Amino acid sequence: MELDLSDSPLDLKAFKPHELEEIFEDPFALRFLPDVDDPDIESRFYALGRTVGDRHLFLSFWTDGKSARVIAAREMTESEKRFYQRNYGEIK
Q: Report how far residue 54's alpha carbon sits from residue 56's, in angstroms, rounded to the nearest whole number.
A: 6
Q: Report how far residue 39's alpha carbon sits from residue 86's, in angstroms, rounded to the nearest whole number.
A: 33
pLDDT in tens, 8-60: 788 888 999 999 999 999 999 998 877 666 666 667 899 999 999 999 999 99
Predicted model pTM: 0.83
| Residues forming a β-bridge with 48 | 30, 58
The number of angstroms, rounded, from the C-alpha of 79 to the middle of its chain's C-alpha atoms is 16
Contact 48, 16 (CB under 8 A): no
Q: Report how far residue 52's alpha carbon sits from residue 46's, in angstroms, rounded to the nearest whole number.
A: 19
Q: What integer pLDDT is reported at residue 19 of this predicted model?
A: 95
Report CA Rg, the chain: 13
